[in-house]
Chain A
Amino acid sequence: MPSQFFGLSIAGSGLRNANAALNTTANNISNVQTDGYSRQKVDSQAADALRVFATYGCAGAGVETLSIERVRDSFYDVKFWDNHANYGQYNIKDYYDREIEDYFNDDGTSGFVTIFNKMRDALQEVTKDASTTSTKANFVASVQALTDYFNSMYGNLQEVQKDINLEIKQCVDQINSISSQVATLSKQINVIELSGGIANDLRDQRDLLIDRLSEYVDVEIRETPIYDTNDPTRETGGTRYVVKIAGGQLLVDGNDYDELSCVARANDEGLNQTDVDGLYKIKWGNGNEFNLNNAALNGKLRGLVDLRDGNNGQNFNGKVREKGSVTVGDGADAVTKQTVTVGVSDDYLKALIDCNLPSQGEITIGNAVYYYDEWEPVYEMDGSDYVLDENGQRVVEAYKFTLDPEKGSSREITVNDQVKTQEALAYQGIPYYMTQMSAFLRSFTDKINGILTAGQDPSTGKAVDGAPVVATNAYGDPGTNLFACRKIGEEVSYKELETDKYGYYYMTAGTVSVTDALLNDADLLGSRSNPHVGVEECEQIKEVIDTLTTKSKFSFRNAPANQMLEILISDVALNKSNADVYKTTYEGLKNSIDNQRTSISGVDEDEEAVSLVKYQNNYTLASKMIQTLTEIYDQLILNTGV
């Protein structure tokens, strides 16, 4: 027989349970719109029944309120994070590709094709009236519009690269901020959970931070229970929360986190000829390099790195063929520097027109990092004569680097060490477009200059005896180069451009220009094929016209010159539309996973309304029970047997 007051205790438990449930409902309703909030649920079970040694057996002892737990399925979290990283990557690519596309786009008034067409029209006018200066001046002006176009493209792309670089820094700052918060939250959660109970709201907050982190970089989370060191089978209730990013690199481990920092590359540490100064390297707090180039890297950071450094998989790489040394300076200032000759095998390295090596920069030889002060192409290896490729350019057999003795690794270099200056990033980022423009300009300007200075000895500027064609200007002298190249403000001389070991290396979208002399006097244009043939003849101009549109005379990526932009624009348009497609796909996936997650964890107003009524009824009934019992006690104590 249970105690006469047992009922009161049962009703009390009901009252408490209903109270807890009502409070939880209140909390849920309050957090309907809170980001990352998971609905909470009161976990209850019937209390252990009381054996009352009566014929009817046990008596129910009311309800036991076990815990308040959030309703959440971490499976969806993992899926969301993976997907969010993809979304982050393609969203940023979409953004920047769009910007690049805008620069390359030709709306029919100012783009490359329009400018190119104007130049071709101006050339046509020259063929009809080659004896007047004004048609030639007009042509030269149209060429200047073309070089201006490339100069501004170069500037614009550099600006984009600068923006991307800055955004990488912001990205790193965000990751740092999140990692410190996650570590702090983990500590607080453990404080609460070690003393029993679940830190629902803190866990929600931590998951929300990981949600945000996963947009910047791919994440991998492992949470393992902490066991009692004295009793390895006993769980202490605390957990070890580990966050790894960028393909398994440890960011947060329990209460500890590692900080990332951005270090701007010095001028002599560059990666590409066309890069802006001060691109960031990312380092861990301990000074180790943060590995940006692993296939698993994802998220916005991946997108930004691809855009900033993407070289279409065409990095400088080779093998050490020879070692040597060179002494620079005289007397007391003399310094002996180590030289390394690196043999190359990739086609894009064998042609100097595709070269995007900076004049000084970073180089990795056999996994150790060195820095070179200068480099030069080697056309003749092992005493063999140089070979010409199908474009008539000398084939580069190797590159000879002069290493900076003050900087970089001191490891002994051995022959056959693998060499690279940067990683092969398959994406077509800024360096890719820059290299494409350089390659086009180098071969194009070389070709056109060649026609307009045909039969001329570059070292003397005089016609070579017996040349079948001598490009001649209006004054009967050998023609002047149309395209010049500005290296640090000054025009590089034709001789330097043509006979220097670097060839047209200095020519990039940033340095190409029209020769000053021609801008001042268009009559210097070598339009005629012969000094005595008459002023109206313009064979050289006709040759230029043919060269512009005939693939067999000049081709860039297997298309004539006038289609150069089509090629680049189809690259950029394809990249943009890919990014767009992926972005949309991952956005849809993100929404759908988020919905699935919300479907489990989200607060539903109707449901809470039902809970409200339900628990209110519970509460009312429990109260009623107590009232009833009170009346029974009244009856029992005051009226029974008195």
Chain B
Amino acid sequence: MNAMRMTNKIMQNNSLYNINQNKVLQDKLSTQMSTQKKLTRPSDDPVVAIRALRLRSSVSELTQYNDKNAADADNWLKVTSDGLAVMNDILTDMMKESNKAANKDLTPNELDIILTQVKSYMDEFYSTGNSDYAGRYLFTGYRTDTPMTFTTADVSKMTEDDNFPSYEITEQTKIDAFDTMNYTYIDKLEGLNPNNYTDGTHDTTEQKIENGDIKRLRLAYDDIKDGQTLKVELYSKSGSPLTYSDPALHSVTATAVSLGNDPYKQILDSNPGGNLVIYVPETGEILFSDGAFKTLNDTYQAAAQGTEGDDTVDPPIAGTPGVGEENMEIRVTYTKDHWNNGDLRPEHYFKCSATAKDASGTENTIDYNSEYTDAEIGIKRQTISYDVGYNQIIEVNSTAQEIFPHDLKRDLDDLQNIMTKMKDIYAIRTDLKDALRDMEESDADYADTVKQMDAANKAYDYIRENIHTAFEHMISKTQEYQADVNVAVTDNGTRSSRLALIKNRLVEQKTSFRELQDKNEGVDIAEVAIELKSAELTYESSLMATSKIMQTTLMNYI
């Protein structure tokens, strides 16, 4: 049927074209064989090429997640876990030690030894907070360049330059942060010694020894600036500050009464009806007389519950639903401008602003955590988190806020204060006992001294009881701290095991992506080998055919 006139040249051209096509195919197949890849350039198959790019990106991303991020997260968690284990041990030791104090027969000196031991555990506990990982502090949130406490170096530098930073600290707390302290008033026994007990200035009677409970709000720090006016203010977190037409309701003012002026006695005198609020700069306590506390508590509860007011709450919250206990907040703002080694740095805990002189001597103020009082944000942990997968984030750090409370140190401060008092009264009692032993009933001072002795015995009993309670309290608090640490340990452990799971999954994902990559770009060697073989055959036969048609023409036979 082919009516076409065929010339030799057409045959030559066609043969050459076909041979070339065969060579192109052979080249393609042999390239595939030697590169193990289907494609040499995107235009060979744009779809496969772009899929290859995506898969390559995914594999590289997974490599970053698995080989680097997850591994680094693991390290953080391990180091944190080590730190937490140490803390746990310390707290256990501390508890054992405190338990020893439960025996009421222990002498003040023996108790003092126990207390000293407990305090040294405490120092160890807080110094764990300064642990670092590769030069970065573990428990200080984003401030990995700042230790958790002021260090000896910090303090000596501050002393040398006479440049203690002045922190204005805002504590945000709730009504249940108020606790009750027991106070024993020892009247004129104060300062009694073997030389002056008879000179009349220290005469007292058993009846003059007073003991009572005082409502107080213990601040996070002692040794706060004297002379400032403190305000205890009520806030509703979800909205604007609570305001009443009588500002005394939402903002209670406390004035300074230093230890020398017997602040505790003032409160005891004011109780039960009085309305006194004072603070003790040396100990960092805000003391409320019962009346003052009742007003505050009533206001607080009314605002929280939205109950029909009480006329004292003006304007009454009546008819409004109440902001809810969870949204109530008490704020106290105060200044502390002296620091000791081991003091927890406020910026890890509170909204505060620190003012200090910079190198050139000008005053510089830095605001920390200003978002804490923002109704939208509130107090939040500074969590360091690593990306360990697509949309998978793992927190690696535990923060000081969670596991290093101020309360532990403050509890020990309390204990120490009571201990000091107890040792004082014990010494007085011993002195009086010694004096009485040498006295005759007929001695002029005998009756007074017996009265003093009775008073001292009564005071000692109160205080001995008090310190016993304090130690018991200490034990239960230590358990709480340990529980906090255990929560952190659990959190950390949970994260570790979650990370392990994620890592498994990452490895799986990586493998499956590699498989996909192979499927997408890789060649089936057997298939290509067969194709190559058949291409070779085709090529050879095309050469043979061409050589045949090119060799002869009719001329050969004429």
Which residues of chain A have a CB within 8 Å of any CB of chain B? 32-33, 97-98, 101-102, 104-106, 108, 113-114, 116-117, 120-121, 124-125, 127-129, 131, 528, 532-537, 545, 562-563, 565-566, 569-570, 572-574, 576-577, 580, 591, 594-596, 598-600, 602-607, 609-610, 612-613
**Does A127 lie within 8 Å of B386, measured CB to CB?**
yes
**Does A599 lie within 8 Å of B142, measured CB to CB?**
no
Which residues of chain B are within 8 angstroms of A33 by Cβ–Cβ distance? Answer: 9
- Given A106-B53, A566-B53 in contact, is the A534-B140 Cβ separation under 8 Å? yes
Question: Interface centre among B44, B143, B382, by most A CB within 10 Å?
Answer: B143
- In the complex, what distance in Å separates the CA atom of A101 from the CA atom of B39? 13
Is B144 interfacial (CB 8 A cutoff)?
Answer: yes
Determine, out of B56-64, B217-225, B235-243, the stretch whose residues face the partner at the interface: B56-64
Q: Name A563's closest neighbour in chain B (CB-CB).
A: B54
- Given A599-B5, A603-B9 in contact, is the A131-B145 Cβ separation under 8 Å? yes
Which residues of chain B are within 8 angstroms of A105 by Cβ–Cβ distance? Answer: 41-42
**Does B61 lie within 8 Å of A536, measured CB to CB?**
no
- In the complex, what distance in Å separates the CA atom of A97 from the CA atom of B54? 23
Which residues of chain B are within 8 angstroms of A600 by Cβ–Cβ distance? Answer: 5
Is B306 interfacial (CB 8 A cutoff)?
Answer: no
Which residues of chain B are within 8 angstroms of A106 by Cβ–Cβ distance? Answer: 53, 56
**Does B145 lie within 8 Å of A604, measured CB to CB?**
no
Q: When the two chains form the complex, which single residue of B5, B41, B144 contacts A101, counting CB atoms closer than 8 Å?
A: B41
A-B contact pairs, 13 of them (CB 8 A): A106-B53, A113-B57, A117-B56, A120-B61, A120-B64, A128-B69, A129-B136, A131-B136, A562-B57, A572-B42, A602-B9, A603-B9, A609-B555
- In the complex, what distance in Å separates the CA atom of A457 from the CA atom of B179? 49
Q: Measured between C-beta atoms, what is the minimum distance from A599 to chain B in Å?
A: 5
**Does B68 lie within 8 Å of A603, measured CB to CB?**
no
The interface bits of chain B over 346-388 (1 if a CB of A lies within 8 angstroms of the residue's CB, else 0) are 0000000000000000000011111000000000001010110
**Does A580 lie within 8 Å of B382, measured CB to CB?**
no
Which residues of chain A are within 8 angstroms of B43 by Cβ–Cβ distance? Answer: 97-98, 101, 572-574, 576-577, 580
Q: Measured between C-beta atoms, what is the minimum distance from A546 to chain B in Å?
A: 10
Is B97 interfacial (CB 8 A cutoff)?
Answer: no
Determine, out of B10-18, B413-421, B429-437, the stretch whose residues face the partner at the interface: B10-18
Q: When the two chains form the complex, which single residue of B13, B42, B144, B145 contacts A594, counting CB atoms closer than 8 Å?
A: B13
Which residues of chain B have a CB within 8 Å of any CB of chain A? 4-10, 13-14, 17, 41-44, 46, 49-50, 53-54, 56-57, 60-61, 64, 68-69, 72-73, 136, 140-146, 366-370, 382, 384, 386-387, 553-555, 558
Which residues of chain B are within 8 angstroms of A594 by Cβ–Cβ distance? Answer: 13
**Does A606 lie within 8 Å of B554, measured CB to CB?**
yes
- In the complex, what distance in Å separates the CA atom of A131 from the CA atom of B41? 43
Q: Is the interface of A mostly helix, strand, loop or mixed?
A: helix
Q: Measured between C-beta atoms, what is the minimum distance from B521 to chain A in Å?
A: 10
**Does B142 lie within 8 Å of A536, measured CB to CB?**
yes
**Does B144 lie within 8 Å of A535, measured CB to CB?**
yes
Which residues of chain B are within 8 angstroms of A102 by Cβ–Cβ distance? Answer: 41
Which residues of chain B are within 8 angstroms of A607 by Cβ–Cβ distance? Answer: 7
The 3 closest A-B pairs by CB, nearest first: A534-B142, A534-B143, A576-B43
Q: When the two chains form the complex, which single residue of B61, B142, B553 contacts A605, counting CB atoms closer than 8 Å?
A: B553
**Does B49 lie within 8 Å of A573, measured CB to CB?**
yes
**Does B136 lie within 8 Å of A124, measured CB to CB?**
no
Q: Name B144's closest neighbour in chain A (CB-CB).
A: A536
**Does B554 lie within 8 Å of A609, measured CB to CB?**
yes
4 additional contacts, CB 8 Å, given A534-B145, A562-B57? A32-B8, A537-B382, A602-B9, A605-B554
- In the complex, what distance in Å separates the CA atom of A473 from the CA atom of B18? 67
**Does B386 lie within 8 Å of A534, measured CB to CB?**
no
Q: Name A605's closest neighbour in chain B (CB-CB).
A: B553
- In the complex, what distance in Å separates the CA atom of A391 from the CA atom of B36? 43
- Given A131-B136, A576-B43 in contact, is the A125-B68 Cβ separation under 8 Å? yes
Q: When the two chains form the complex, which single residue of A32, A569, A598, A605 contacts B50, counting CB atoms closer than 8 Å?
A: A569
- Given A125-B68, A534-B146, A609-B558 in contact, is the A113-B17 Cβ separation under 8 Å? no
- Given A536-B143, A566-B53 in contact, is the A121-B64 Cβ separation under 8 Å? yes
- Given A128-B69, A598-B10 in contact, is the A535-B554 Cβ separation under 8 Å? no
**Does B142 lie within 8 Å of A533, measured CB to CB?**
yes
Q: When the two chains form the complex, which single residue of B4, B44, B384 contacts A599, counting CB atoms closer than 8 Å?
A: B4
Which residues of chain A are within 8 angstroms of B144 by Cβ–Cβ distance? Answer: 131, 534-536
- In the complex, what distance in Å separates the CA atom of A149 from the CA atom of B366? 42
- In the complex, what distance in Å separates the CA atom of A33 from the CA atom of B9? 8
Which residues of chain B are within 8 angstroms of A98 by Cβ–Cβ distance? Answer: 41, 43
- In the complex, what distance in Å separates the CA atom of A566 from the CA atom of B42? 10
Q: Measured between C-beta atoms, what is the minimum distance from B526 to chain A in Å?
A: 25
- In the complex, what distance in Å separates the CA atom of A533 from the CA atom of B10? 82
**Does A605 lie within 8 Å of B8, measured CB to CB?**
yes
- In the complex, what distance in Å separates the CA atom of A135 from the CA atom of B14? 63
Q: Measured between C-beta atoms, what is the minimum distance from B377 to chain A in Å?
A: 11
**Does B13 lie within 8 Å of A598, measured CB to CB?**
yes
- In the complex, what distance in Å separates the CA atom of A333 from the CA atom of B69? 66
Which residues of chain B are within 8 angstroms of A120 by Cβ–Cβ distance? Answer: 61, 64
- Given A124-B387, A532-B368, A599-B10 in contact, is the A569-B554 Cβ separation under 8 Å? no
Q: When the two chains form the complex, which single residue of A113, A545, A595, A603 contacts B14, counting CB atoms closer than 8 Å?
A: A595
**Does B53 lie within 8 Å of A604, measured CB to CB?**
no
Which residues of chain A are within 8 angstroms of B382 by Cβ–Cβ distance? Answer: 533-534, 536-537
Question: Interface centre among B43, B44, B73, B136, by most A CB within 10 Å?
Answer: B43
Q: When the two chains form the complex, which single residue of B7, B73, B140, B142 contacts A604, counting CB atoms closer than 8 Å?
A: B7
**Does B387 lie within 8 Å of A545, measured CB to CB?**
yes
Q: When the two chains form the complex, which single residue of B42, B72, B366 contacts A573, counting CB atoms closer than 8 Å?
A: B42
Which residues of chain B are within 8 angstroms of A609 by Cβ–Cβ distance? Answer: 553-555, 558
**Does A124 lie within 8 Å of B64, measured CB to CB?**
yes
Q: When the two chains form the complex, which single residue of B53, B61, B146, B370 contacts A569, counting CB atoms closer than 8 Å?
A: B53
**Does B53 lie within 8 Å of A113, measured CB to CB?**
yes
- Given A534-B382, A598-B7 in contact, is the A570-B553 Cβ separation under 8 Å? no
**Does B54 lie within 8 Å of A535, measured CB to CB?**
no
Which residues of chain A are within 8 angstroms of B64 by Cβ–Cβ distance? Answer: 120-121, 124
Which residues of chain A are within 8 angstroms of B50 by Cβ–Cβ distance? Answer: 566, 569-570, 573
Q: When the two chains form the complex, which single residue of A127, A535, A572 contacts B387, counting CB atoms closer than 8 Å?
A: A127
Q: Measured between C-beta atoms, what is the minimum distance from B393 to chain A in Å?
A: 9
Q: When the two chains form the complex, which single residue of A108, A537, A576, A602 contacts B10, counting CB atoms closer than 8 Å?
A: A602
**Does B146 lie within 8 Å of A128, measured CB to CB?**
no
Which residues of chain B are within 8 angstroms of A591 by Cβ–Cβ distance? Answer: 13-14, 17
Which residues of chain B are within 8 angstroms of A562 by Cβ–Cβ distance? Answer: 57
**Does A599 lie within 8 Å of B7, measured CB to CB?**
yes
**Does A117 lie within 8 Å of B60, measured CB to CB?**
yes
Q: Measured between C-beta atoms, what is the minimum distance from A432 to chain B in Å?
A: 17
Q: Name A574's closest neighbour in chain B (CB-CB).
A: B46
Q: Measured between C-beta atoms, what is the minimum distance from B402 to chain A in Å?
A: 16
**Does B9 lie within 8 Å of A32, measured CB to CB?**
yes
Q: Name B134's closest neighbour in chain A (CB-CB).
A: A129
- In the complex, what distance in Å separates the CA atom of A594 from the CA atom of B13? 10
Q: Name B42's closest neighbour in chain A (CB-CB).
A: A573
Which residues of chain A are within 8 angstroms of B13 by Cβ–Cβ distance? Answer: 591, 594-595, 598
**Does A113 lie within 8 Å of B554, measured CB to CB?**
no
Q: Measured between C-beta atoms, what is the minimum distance from B38 to chain A in Å?
A: 14
**Does B141 lie within 8 Å of A536, measured CB to CB?**
yes
- Given A108-B56, A595-B14 in contact, is the A535-B8 Cβ separation under 8 Å? no
Q: Measured between C-beta atoms, what is the minimum distance from A141 to chain B in Å?
A: 17
**Does A117 lie within 8 Å of B72, measured CB to CB?**
no
Q: Name A587's closest neighbour in chain B (CB-CB).
A: B17
- In the complex, what distance in Å separates the CA atom of A308 from the CA atom of B553? 50
**Does A604 lie within 8 Å of B42, measured CB to CB?**
no
- In the complex, what distance in Å separates the CA atom of A577 from the CA atom of B50? 14
**Does B68 lie within 8 Å of A124, measured CB to CB?**
yes
**Does A128 lie within 8 Å of B72, measured CB to CB?**
yes
